[in-house]
Structure 1
Amino acid sequence: MEKQAEEITYSCEECGLSLSTMSGLKSHMRIHTPYSCKECKTFLSTMSSLQKHMKLHTGDKPHSCKECGSSFARAATLRLHMRIHTGEKPYSCEVCDKTFVTSGNLQIHRRVHTGEKPYSCQICGSKFTSKGNLNSHMRSHTGEKPHFCEVCGNSFSSKLNLKLHKVTHTGEKLFPCEVCGLSFSSACSLKNHFRTHTGEKPYSCTVCGAGYASHSGLQFHMYKHTGEKRFSCEVCGLAVTMMSTLKQHMRIHTGDKPHSCDICGTSFLSKFDLKVHMRSHTGEKPFPCKYCSSAFSTASALKLHTRRHTGEKPYSCEVCGSSFAANSVLKAHMRIHTGEKPFSCEVCGCSFARNNDLKRHMHKHTEKRYSCDVCSASFMNKYYLKTHMRFHTGEKPYPCKECGSAFHTSTSLKIHMRKHTGEKPYPCEVCGTRFCEKAKVAVHMRIHTGEKPFSCDICHTAYATKAQATRHKKIIHGIKKKV
């Protein structure tokens, strides 16, 4: 057997360090070169490198951008900056084709696909794809917010958050969507929004395969698998996955609703709730059903609607086994078994199983300032009184173009027209039966919930509709409806 050759090493004569290659020794020897910064003691290999480095301390930025006037210490940095104006992104991802200005940004992005997170927080153990994200995260522990808004004085933990905040002062939204016309304050927000139209979901969960339009959506989803809830409410103890969710939750305790609608003045806990609300004014419905022509203002409404086509009923009653498409319907159904009536009238103390029934009941206590001179009926506003007067005058200003029938209100005409078109836009969330009026859905739902809100004043027998209760009084007790 041949004798194994001894490993050759190269030693530094200055400090004694041993290296395996001559090139490694040469690189190491630069530490001992005479080019060192007197300000921060950094060692540099050449005089030109030292001169460039010194600009960090002197603030000298001789290289200026002709487009926006920004100055830089190095010509190479200026060249990178110019790509913002030219739109050049020469580095592309092999997996999703996303492009980047620098190779470093591409390298960080690749970790989204590989799942690699080499930077760990020593306090809570959270891992990150880049050192910059780790540094920003550390401020959640230290409370440091070094970036200040010059307008209102608010401070932020990162430059990005400050940049996004400044838009609230300027109202500037430079990135419009070509499909629906909505505008956004950043190109990233527009790109994420655009995926609601294309259906693209490039970010997939490695555990269950669920797809998401944005990386933040995937990140939030992953907490379902890990069960991690790092932020707790000091008032009620609720644990949540994100600091932003905790801040929003705290408004429930403080009553703070900082986001107001400019049109009707309604206030909301979150910016998202306001955004959804605005669609009631604009009529925007960006979530179309792939099975029919229906469209919805929220993704959750679309998801609920889709179950009518698929027949999915994921919410089951543990008492009787009935299944429902929506959790809210299950909760209402459970009150049949528990007898719970959580919605109470503050005026007379009557309790109800549903909030809608309480609202309807409250009309009895609401002051009605506008009275009819003919029959003394009272109304809450002039419009209702004006509409009511047509029943006395016989005025029917809204005729049907199909059959000639005329109606007191435009709403009545609209509902009538559905008899000709066959349109039934209001479906039951439980069984899928469709109705031409929204009010009829509410009455129909009582078949599923078992709710009977109308009771006889004499024998207290309960009924699902007011008409049934009135008919009962007439037949059983001989009481006729007052004219």
Structure 2
Amino acid sequence: METHTEKKVIICKVCRSSFCCEIHLKKHMQEHAGEKKIKEKRHSCVQCGRSFYYESMLISHVRSHTGEKPFACTICDSVFSSALILKSHMRIHTGEKPYSCEVCGRSFRNRSTLYVHKRTHSEEKPFSCETCGSSFRQKSNLLTHVRIHTEKKYSCEVCGSSFKSNTKLSSHKRTHFEEKFSCEICGSSFKSNTKLSSHKRTHFEEKSFSCEVCGSSFKQKSNLVTHVRIHTGEKPYSCDVCCKAFSDLSYFKKHARIHTGEKPYACTICPASFSDRSALKVHMYTHTGVKLFLCDICGCRFARSHHLKQHMNTHKKAQ
């Protein structure tokens, strides 16, 4: 009878990466040997002071200040600040995943994602919170966690709400004083004339990009590209954590926040924050008193769709 033995996992003493054999570990150690040859970061950014080993890295970094994105994707029109980021992005379209885990065989589009994945084997959590000692595999997760300890120092003198930054406080104050700009065509209201002008273009702009399969038309080529995937079944955006795939980049980004815990959409009235814009929009109804969801049986209104569904069950039980 054949017996199966567990694979021996070898740990790198420098970075705690995991390997299945000595040959892979030896090859990996050469990377650390190369790191030691670089003595100092000689190229510094004059705007923020960050330093880099190579001039090419500095040039790419400076674009984060200027906003320049000279590298464009020929497939979906996305633009990037460096050729390296563009190269990584192109793998979304090609499906290429050149970085493989020596322990379990899983493949990834980016080397950095592979490094994060390897920590699931070594259980390494190199990013620690200085306040409570909690540890995390990714720096982004640590930054999200630290907000728990951050004090809210900026208070609104009108309603007393507190915020973590003066920027968020200023945005909140506009809800008390700012004039509403309304669209005379559809009645939608906006906080600034700039947003109103942008909205008005949706009423007049021509939809020049048409789907050859079903005839649907779109104002932007990128929207057409996303739509066509409904017909082709293509899902180029794959989650490196759970492998779930998506046809739309926005849905993929929303999903990724499940793993990172990021909640970038903050309420300007109370401390609540959310992982997607639609959840914030629903939450705002609790402050405005708007109840969009109507029961067509008894006329009761609700601020949330699931409250309406719960309410509808009371009618079903009564029948």
TM-score, length-normalised on structure 2? Answer: 0.49
| Greater relative CO (CA pairs within 8 A, separation 6+) | 2
Q: Which has the larger radius of gyration?
A: 1
TM-score, length-normalised on structure 1? Answer: 0.34
